[in-house]
Every structure is written in C-alpha cells, then in structure tokens.
Structure 1
Amino acid sequence: MGTFSVKNEIAPAQGGQTITVEGDITLENSDALRQELLAMVSNGGAVHLIASNVEKIDLSGLQLLVSLQKLLQQENRTLTFEIIYSGDAQSLVECSGYSSLLR
C-alpha cells in the first residue's frame, strides 16, 4: 500500500489554512486521504493545498482533489493548488483533462 503524510497549518490571521500532502495519492490510499482532508478542511476558510514529493498519483487521486475543490466551492470557499509532479504524473494530469482545474 502506498504511503502518504498530511500536515495542516492554520493561519487565522489570513482566514485560511495550508495543507501539505506528500507521498502517494492513489486508489490504494484515497479513502484514508479523503477522510483526513475532509477533517482538516472542516475548520472553514480558504485552503491552499500543497502536494509536494508526490511519488505516485493516479486518476482516483486526481478525482479526490477535484471533488475537494467542488465541495469547497459549494461552501463559497476557495481551494488553491500548488502541485509538484514527476514527469509521468504530469502526463497523466494533462491527458486526464484535469490540468485546468488543478491550478
């Protein structure tokens, strides 16, 4: 099973938080990652998600990020992304059609 880690930094002065995800964002761990992310974003405010040192990402991982973005939009909140992909992951994002959503 792929591993991941998640850190959350809340910045009340800026009215938001920064969440950093490292490791794998794949089907194997998407449920656990989704639960962690939903718990973290329940604090309210804007969210900046940094996905760095992402070793693997698949379509379910991309869908997880987009669904999180849609959830926050429904709550009139913003989610911005800073994602650092490997070469293979970048190709997947471009082919999937999600690249314009994950900016």
Structure 2
Amino acid sequence: MQPQFVADVTLYAPERGGRNSVAYPGWGCPCMVTRTEPLVGYDAWPLLGDRPLEPGAKRRVGFVFLSEEGAEAMRQAGTFYLWEGGFIGEAKVVAKVD
C-alpha cells in the first residue's frame, strides 16, 4: 500500500493519556488537525510494517487515509493528532508522497 505522506509519530505514554497497549500493524484511528472543538476527524492507518508501535514510542511511518480530503487536511496542517476516545498521540508531516 502506497502512503499518501510520511510523518514522525509519537504515541503518548499511558500517563500522558495515551494507549495502555501496543498498536499492532493494521491498527488505525481518526486523525484531527486540532485539539479544540469542534473536532473533525479523518480515518487513517499508519503503515507500521511488521513492527508494533509501543506506547511512548516515536517512529517515522507512512500514512494512508480513507479519503484524499483527510490526507490533504493533515498535509496542510503539518501537525495532527491521533484520537482513540481521547488524544493518544501526535504526528508531524515530514515528506509528501506523489
């Protein structure tokens, strides 16, 4: 699967409100361009390859969005936030993929 862009992802540690468990390959979540309401999210999948992402970890990964509109919103924002019942991480776009 070809990513729409590449981003540096930080998954918050549980004590910062992050996940209590590992994010396994195939995991996805809504992404938001802002932490303020009204929250508008776009479904996305970080391409984790064959390695899970641990709470508190940072990693550079590709992202695939369900809609091009969502990918473009995140590219324009530059920094975006991962949501799973609360903000569990953040990402910064580092490379656009054509």
Structure 2 length-normalised TM:
0.30
Higher relative contact order (CA 8 A, sep 6+): 2
* Greater helix fraction, Structure 1 or Structure 2: 1
Structure 1 length-normalised TM:
0.29
Give the greater-gyration-radius structure (CA): 1
